[in-house]
């Protein structure tokens, strides 16, 4: 077994290629399974599978996470559409690569569970901003395939997608990431650093950190949802925030339900004093 993590040597190219390939394949499979669940705008997929490149970036570094995520998203999107998907190439590929490269880089600099929580939040924002703005801009002004209302309000649609992805991705990364990382570290200790093997979730990350990471975006989503509910629907439609009343209702449900779920998870962790993961 390769012990480069223990000796401080850089892993072999063959090992990194194998890790990157596994990350790409698993991410593609997971992304494809939920690729038909979209946001209220009809664009932007429900993608809990982002936990996969997050885990690989944490365990094996920025290049494995970044390249694996970029290839995985392209494979999933292309498989769904039956051809190399250009929209994915111009938006999802660079956004996923940048986001999970940063994820791996930040975790490589300092591995602690507190840093994992902070890194998850930062990189999901960065990655989703890149993907959303490139995707919407490309469709609105290069392909000219978006409805006129969306093209006129492309910034609002982009921000809406960022919010949608963030609120639907963060819980999966924070709740599933740590146990998966611990499982790999326990099963293959030669592939991870001594710092990672010695880490203790309960000692390094308080329940307050986990709960705040859920409560803050949850409250934000709830406030946005309540704002949409309280606003004059005709005014929102006039401002091109939504293309039609059905999409407006979908936005209300998305923000209110997503915010409520995140808030409930955060408050539950805070109240019970228990982290979801069992750590050594």
Q: Which residue has the tokens 């039609």?
A: 244
Distances (CA, A) of 112 to 148, 181, 263: 47, 12, 24
Task: Report how far residue 241's alpha carbon sits from residue 152's, in angstroms, rounded to the nearest whole number.
Answer: 10
Predicted confidence at residue 233, as pLDDT, reads: 82
Domain boundaries, the chain: 7-201, 206-275
CA distances from 117 to 112, 184, 234, 247 (A): 9, 19, 40, 32
Architecture field, domain 7-201: Orthogonal Bundle (1.10)
Q: What spatial distance separates the first Cα and last Cα of the chain, rounded to whole Å?
A: 24
Q: What is the mean pLDDT, run by run of 10 residues, along the chain of 280 residues?
A: 51 90 98 86 86 96 97 96 95 98 93 90 95 95 83 86 88 92 86 74 67 85 85 72 72 84 87 56
The pLDDT value recorded for residue 7 is 45
What pLDDT is stored for residue 163 in this prediction? 85
Paired with 38 in beta bridges are: 45
Q: Rounded to an integer, what distance in angstroms lies between the CA atom of residue 38 and that of residue 250?
A: 11
């Amino acid at each position: 077994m390769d012990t480069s993590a223990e000796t401080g040597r850089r892993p072999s190219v063959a090992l990194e290629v194998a890790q990157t390939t596994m990350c790409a394949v698993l991410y593609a499979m997971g992304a494809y399974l939920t690729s038909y669940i979209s946001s209220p705008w009809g664009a932007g997929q429900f993608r809990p599978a982002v936990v996969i490149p997050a885990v690989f970036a944490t365990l094996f570094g920025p290049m494995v996470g970044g390249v694996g995520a970029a290839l995985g998203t392209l494979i999933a999107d292309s498989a769904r559409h039956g051809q190399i998907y250009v929209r994915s190439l111009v938006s999802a590929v660079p956004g996923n690569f940048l986001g999970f490269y940063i994820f791996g880089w930040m975790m490589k600099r300092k591995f602690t569970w507190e840093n994992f929580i902070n890194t998850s939040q930062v990189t999901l924002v960065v990655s989703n901003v890149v993907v959303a703005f490139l995707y919407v801009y490309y469709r609105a002004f290069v392909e000219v395939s978006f409805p006129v209302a969306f093209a006129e309000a492309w910034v609002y649609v982009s921000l809406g997608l960022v919010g949608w992805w963030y609120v639907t991705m963060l819980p999966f990364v924070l709740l599933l990431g740590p146990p998966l990382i611990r499982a790999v570290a326990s099963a293959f200790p030669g592939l991870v650093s001594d710092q990672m093997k010695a880490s203790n979730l309960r000692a390094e990350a308080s329940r307050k950190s986990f709960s705040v990471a859920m409560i803050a975006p949850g409250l934000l989503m709830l406030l946005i949802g309540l704002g949409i509910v309280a606003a004059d629907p005709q005014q929102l439609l006039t401002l091109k925030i939504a293309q039609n009343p059905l999409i407006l209702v979908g936005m209300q449900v998305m923000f209110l339900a997503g915010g409520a779920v995140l808030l409930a998870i955060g408050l539950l962790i805070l109240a019970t004093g228990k982290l979801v993961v069992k750590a050594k």
